[in-house]
Each structure stands twice: as C-alpha cells, then as structure tokens.
Structure 1
Amino acid sequence: MSKSEESTVEPTPVKRPRRPRRHFNESKKLHGVAYDIRGEVTAEAERMELDGHSILKLNTGNPAIFGFDAPDVIMRDMIAALPTSQGYSTSKGIIPARRAVVTRYELIEDFPSFDVDDVYLGNGVSELISMVTQALLDDGDEVLIPAPDYPLWTAATSLAGGTPVHYMCDEEDDWNPSLEDIRSKVNEKTKAIVVINPNNPTGAVYSREILEGIADIARENDLMILADEIYDRILYDGAEHISMAEVAPDVVTVTFNGLSKAYRVAGYRAGWIVITGPKRYAKGFLEGLELLAGTRLCPNVPGQHAIQVALGGKQSIYGLTGKEGRLLKQRNIAVEKLREIPGVSVVEPKGALYAFPKLDPSVYDIHDDSKLMLDILRSEKILLVQGTGFNYPTPDHFRLVTLPWASQLENAIERLGNFLVNYRQ
C-alpha cells in the first residue's frame, strides 16, 4: 500500500457505551400547582370543539364571547394611539394612565392618599399577582388565602416559593371570611393576607365589620394585605364595595384592579396595582417590585392607552348591573333556576359574575367533582369548574359563570338539573 493510500484509510470508530436519553420533565416548582379554570376538563372541551361540538363555556369570566362589547370610546382612543405605541414605555407604565388611576381612587373619600409613583401597570391583574408574590416571598413564607379562592393566588404563591394557607369563608354567613379561622392560622411564618372582594367564585361582597376585622389581624401581626378588587364596580341590589385600603390606611396594602371585567376588555390585558400604607416598612419589597417591573420591560403599550379613557367619564357598567341591566337579570335567572333543582342551594351573589352553588351530599353521591364536570361536559356540552378547583376542601360545589343571555342560562341550568338525576343517591 502506498503512502497516499495509507493516508486515506478511515480510522475505526470507537464504540462508546449507549446511555439513556435525557427526559425533560416538568419543573419541580410546578409540583402541586394547579389552575383548573383552564385545566383538564377545559382541554377536553377544546378537543370536543375540534370534533365539531358546540360548547357553552361557563368556566371563565370572559365577557366578549357573550356579546358584551367594549365601550366604543376605549377602542377609538386605542386606535388613535397605535402610531405612538410601537416602542417600549417606562417599566411602570405611561404617566397619563397611572395618573388616571390616582384620580380614580381620589374620588373615594376614605382611600389613603398615594402618588403616581405608587402605581404599577401590568398585563392584567394576573401578571401583577405573579410579580408581587415573587417580590415579596421567601421560601417557606406563608400567605393566607381564602377558600374558595381565585386559584391563581394559590398557584402564584407556590411558584414564588411560598406556602398557601387557606382560611375558610362561611357559606352560612353569605360567604364572609371567618375571622376566627384567619386568626387561628397566623404564625411567625405568615407574611400576607389575600382578600378577594367582591369574591371570585362566590360573588360575596364583604361587610365593613369583616374588613375591619381583617385589618386588625394584619396590624397585630405586621402582615401585608393583598386586596384583589377587580370586580369592585360589578355590584347588585345596592351592595356597597368598601376597599380594603380604606379600613387599613396604616397597613401596607397592595390593591389590584383593571379593565378586564367592568370594561369588558379582558383581551387588552390592562391592569394596575396601587401601594398604600407606611411604605418605609416595605423598602426591600418595593425595590424587588421595581426590579421585576424592569425585567418584563413594560406592559403592552396599546392596552395602557385604554386606561385613561376608561376611567374617565360615564361608567357604562352601572347600566348593566342596575335595575334593568342585563347582568342583574342574568344573576337573578341563575339563582332562581339553580334553586329549582332538588338538592341544590346557592347564596345569592351580590357582586362579580359567578354563582357558587352547593350540591347537598345527602342527595348527591359525589366523590370526584372533576369527574362530575367531565361527565356534564360530555353529556350536556356545558363547561363548568369544580369547587375543589378553587381550593374548596369538599367536592360538593361548582362555579357557574352568569354571563350568557338569560335564555341560554335558563336552558343550560335546566339541562344541568336533568343530568344531576344520574348522581342522586
């Protein structure tokens, strides 16, 4: 063999032991984290839709799909602002929108004073909940969260390294929180109390006495209050919303709100937080919040331009919740028809967009409420959320969205009642 031939001989490949391929598993941070409002039953509904089924979606408070249009003036202002909305804004959000938020609360007589620098805009309240819990919580810190709750609070607390501790709301007391239960669950690890008022999923609007009791617990234990008030303008029968910050001006309070529900623009993702109370005790938290606001660069800019116009002028939501309003009529139909089903009871909601009925355990044999929701979906093409999905401890409740037209609600609840016969003992 010539030298040139030797140089072209391929070397024998070295055989290496075969190792198993890596599996990319779910992060351990997500273990135990759930959001059943868009969980497995919703995934099944999406599969059914792909197969051609029409699903009545009573799982999310999404006004647009039920014919609740955004006020024209909001869309016109957003469209006009689009040519100047192509770049980033400041991390907290544009000044005109934040100034409008300040003005909104200045009109509430007892709301503590604050400045535009105490306002952060976000991509909906959901993003702001995640930012606040990330900025506030160390591993093992406990947060008191109502049961039932809006489950993002529980999920966000867990993802931030905290431990959600659920305090009970009392169905026999119009779903008001149990002050005794809250007090019994405070310890040296407790860092904050979440208050959802008006409540999702129960529709409860809390009394001043209850809010003052929660404020007292926060004072006594140096706790922060996280007040989710996204439904504060969706009220029925003359119910009065009292903001948590009004009764706790001396407690560091973060108030969450936005345009999604009262202004029917859930897809615009326009929310805000307001920080009140003695901020000198929250310096580190505020620095962390500034950091997180910066790392997301800014909220979506077109959505920010909806805030100023929405908060000024006529508030159209009151025409929907008043005596002849569509939302009130639908709330009434939902309550009336649910109570006609044997073994079903419901506390009349005083706010928000939901009812949280109970299935009497002596009448219905239910051990797995998520399976019940799946059975209802497959049989009746109605998508609901089970009560345990809101961190309620027993499988005997579910949440029903009251946004569909009254005729749709009436028909759906009648079908639901007929279906529940299959679960009677």
Structure 2
Amino acid sequence: MLHSCNNLQLQTKMGIENGSTLKKKWGFRLNRETNMGADITIRGVRYMLMSKLNKSDTRPVLPLAHGDPSAFACFRTTQVAEDALVDSIRSGNFNGYGPGVGILPARRAVAEYLSQDLPTKLSEDDVFLTVGCAHAIQTILTVLANPNANILLPKPGFPYYEAVAKSCHLEVRHFDLLPEKDWEVDLDAVEALADENTVAMVIINPGNPCGNIFTHQHLEKVAKTAKKLGILVISDEVYDHLAFGKNPFVPMGTFGSITPVITLGSISKRWIVPGWRLGWLAINDPNGILKEHGIIDCIAGHISLSCDPPTFIQGAIPDILGKTKEDFFLKIISIIKDNANSCYEGLADVPGVVCPSKPEGSMFVMAKLDLSVFEDIKDDLDFCLKLAKEESVIILPGITVGLKNWLRITFAIEPSALEDGIKRLKAFCERHSIKA
C-alpha cells in the first residue's frame, strides 16, 4: 500500500515538473437515451433542410413541410379564443399552481366537448390535461412501456411516436397504411405483428401524414381487431373535425365499448394555436377495463410528476370550447379544402410526383416520387435538400414519416404561397427530369 502511494506521488511530481497535469476523471456521463430518435423528428429534418437554403435567393421561403398555419393571416384564430385568454389572465384566478391532472372546469369543458360526438358521455375524471398533444403521447407511451412490451405504429405515421417509444425502451412494430385503399389500416398485418407482449396500436385520424379520414365501418373493424388481440387503441385526433371530403370525422371513442380507447387531442389545429400547448388525454372505456388493470391510476401518477399546461390557458378553455361559433370552423375548413384541391390538382402537372388519393382531412397529402423520371435525384431526402437549395421550398421527405421516396406536403398555408410553391416544385422537377 505504501509502495503504491509512493509511486502515485512520484508520478504526480513528474507530471508537475514536466509542465502537465494529470487528467481529471469526471463523474458525469452522457445519457445517450435522451437523444434517441431525435434525428427522425420533423423538427430535426426541417432544421437540416433550412440549413441548405441559398441565402442569395431573395424569394420568400415557402414552408410546405410543417403543419403550422398560424403564421398566415388567413388562419388567425377566433377572437373568442383571444378574448378568453385575456379574460383568464385579467381575472387573477389562474396565476397559481394547478392540479397535475388539470383544473376541474377545464377538464369538464374538454369532457363536454368530446362527448358531443360520442354515444357514451365522458366525465371530467376521464380527462387529463397535457402540455399539447406531444405531452399526451409521452404520457401514454411511458405508462405502457413495461419490460418486453411492444406497440404497433402506422407506416407512414407521425415520427414523434417512434422517438418517444425508443426513449422509454418500448419496442416498435409497424403496420402499413394502404394507399390503394385511401390509406386504410392493413388489419391483416396488425394481427400478424401482434403477440402476447403487444400493449396497443396507434391510429391517427384525420390522417397525418396522409390526409385521409377513416370511415365508421373501418374504425369498427379496427376496434374489433384490437379486442381480438387484447390491446387498446390510442387514437390521435389532434386534427379532429378537420374533414372536408366524402367521409365525416368519427371519433374512435365511439367504439370504446368494444375495446378500450385512449384519445389524444388538443386545441392546436382546429383553433390554429399550436403555440398555446393545451392538449388532453381522454379515456373512452365504459367497461372499466383500463381502471381494473391500473392504467388510469398510472396515468394520473405519471402526469403528477411532469409539467402541466399554464393555468391561465386552462382557465380560458371553457370559453374557447364552449363559445366558439360554427362560422369560424366553417371558414377554416373552406380555406383548407380549397387549398387541398389546388394542391392535388397542381401536383398532377408535376413530373415525377404522383398522389394516390385526394386529401380529405387534416393539413397534408402524401405524394410518391417516381425516381425514373429524374436524371440526378438519388432519393426523397436528396430531392428535398436540392429543392430547398434551388427553390427555397421546404417539403418533408417521406423517409421521415416512414415511407422512403415519398413526400409529405402541407397545404395549410396562404393560398398564394401554396400556388407559388407548386410552381417552384414543378420548375424544379422539370429542370431535373431526364427529358430536360
């Protein structure tokens, strides 16, 4: 022991004499799991595309990749929502901490809002308020992430689910959405993928990224398949009621008596206020299966450990949900529908870009790339990088949402900007085509 100490003292002395110091062994370590999946998020890919813009191009950048129309004047939220928020702040009643699950009047208002379209009414105890829909996704996936558990996600889908699942060690298995059937769920694939460790399947309706609306009949088949497999359905309905085609929006909670359904939503899209970060997680389970298995208590426990939405926004929710007039919604739907038609028709004239079906909901359309048309385009990511650099148009490569050599395009922007974006896209494709 003495010999070891003498050696250490000698090494230390030699290090000082040589003008160097011994390297300190720090105690902290990188938690690599916190960065798992960050590269596949829409924000991450958008940031990469934005970095490729040509700064000498004086034309405005056209954002056809991100579903946030709030930047455009034609999509401004209703004055009812703005007044409700101001009144909430000025009341002085919502400056303190709120309960983790959400303020009671706000939860009751969300329950009433959702119950308008459901056969079984929800109570405030069925609703948990979250910091946007993203927080709701984090909550339910974390609660379900038991050892060896797996979850079934749609392909294409919203990549945030996969990123969160990876971060909490929840195995992901993908089932296809079928473009030839208006992006219906491949239920045969769902049954083939599921096993005794499958906990849930996710659907997104209205569809992101496909712009589809599931029919009542198809949703019932989804519920019956989930019941057969003994799993719950997580229904992402953040674009609820943004439907403008042949199929009306039907909430998955309609089939909660068949299989347990957890509905995720927010005011972000329908009210055009994504930055307000007010969402919810709602339980549609009249048979009490989730309560019996402790899922409800676990959700409440997890939410109590995380952050909750600002209380002044919660205070405004009863008026926002209860007093917004139908004409506001009709105006927004009218703009989005016209844009969807213009986008679909415009893309029909773009060489190498093919839309399998006309969008009927949400704010997006999926278009397939025919790489054989192009002379120097390797794949969808290469396409989007070059498009950003040459035309200052940002479109999301399909690989981000699970479909290689596809594109996800948003049409929820100013109509004139959309028209300009399609023109630039067409010019780009013509310039890179083999015929050119």
TM-score, L = length of structure 1: 0.89
Partner of 2:5: none
Partner of 2:47: 42
Q: Does the 8 Å contact 1:262/1:317 carry over to 2?
A: no
Q: Does the 8 Å contact 1:93/1:298 carry over to 2?
A: yes
1:135/1:317 CA distance change after superposition, 3 Å: farther
* 1:161-172 pair list within 5 angstroms: 161-172=169-180
1: distance between equivalents of 2:432 and 2:191?
38
Partner of 2:70: 64
Question: Aligned letter for 2:94?
Answer: S
- How far the C-alpha of 1:77 sits from its partner, in A, is 1.4
| Structure 2 counterpart SS, 1:39 | helix
Q: Does the 8 Å contact 1:71/1:263 carry over to 2?
A: yes
CA RMSD after TM alignment: 2.5
2: distance between equivalents of 1:13 and 1:116?
67
2: distance between equivalents of 1:209 and 1:373?
37
2: distance between equivalents of 1:294 and 1:374?
42
Aligned partner of 1:77 among 56, 78, 84 = 84
2: distance between equivalents of 1:214 and 1:34?
31
- How far the C-alpha of 1:267 sits from its partner, in A, is 0.7
1:109/1:253 CA distance change after superposition, 3 Å: closer
* 1:26-37 pair list within 5 angstroms: 27-28=32-33, 30-37=35-42
Query: Are 1:97 and 2:103 an aligned pair?
Result: no
Q: Does the 8 Å contact 1:270/1:306 carry over to 2?
A: no
Question: Aligned letter for 2:331?
Answer: L
- How far the C-alpha of 1:415 sits from its partner, in A, is 1.0
Q: Which runs of 5+ in 1 are unaligned?
A: 1-11
Cα-to-partner distance string for 1:267-325 (whole Å, 9 max, x where unaligned)? 11111111121334444322221122111253211221332122113234532355xx2
Count of residues in correspondence between the two structures: 410
Query: Are 1:379 and 2:390 an aligned pair?
Result: yes
2: distance between equivalents of 1:320 and 1:128?
28
* 1:341-380 pair list within 5 angstroms: 341-346=350-355, 347-364=357-374, 366-380=377-391
Question: Aligned letter for 1:374?
Answer: L
| Structure 1 counterpart SS, 2:348 | helix
| Structure 2 counterpart SS, 1:356 | strand
2: distance between equivalents of 1:297 and 1:39?
23
TM-score, L = length of structure 2: 0.87
1:164/1:113 CA distance change after superposition, 3 Å: same
Identical counterparts, % of pairs: 25
Question: Aligned letter for 2:82?
Answer: M
Question: Aligned letter for 2:311?
Answer: V
2: distance between equivalents of 1:305 and 1:97?
7
1:86/1:47 CA distance change after superposition, 3 Å: farther
- How far the C-alpha of 1:240 sits from its partner, in A, is 0.6
Partner of 2:259: 251
Query: Are 1:181 and 2:185 an aligned pair?
Result: no
The farther-off stretch of 176-185 and 379-388 is: 176-185
Question: Aligned letter for 1:71?
Answer: T
Query: Are 1:139 and 2:147 an aligned pair?
Result: yes
Q: Does the 8 Å contact 2:131/2:307 carry over to 1?
A: no
1: distance between equivalents of 2:238 and 2:346?
27
1:210/1:332 CA distance change after superposition, 3 Å: same
2: distance between equivalents of 1:20 and 1:416?
55
1: distance between equivalents of 2:278 and 2:256?
26
The farther-off stretch of 399-408 and 223-232 is: 399-408
Partner of 1:410: 419
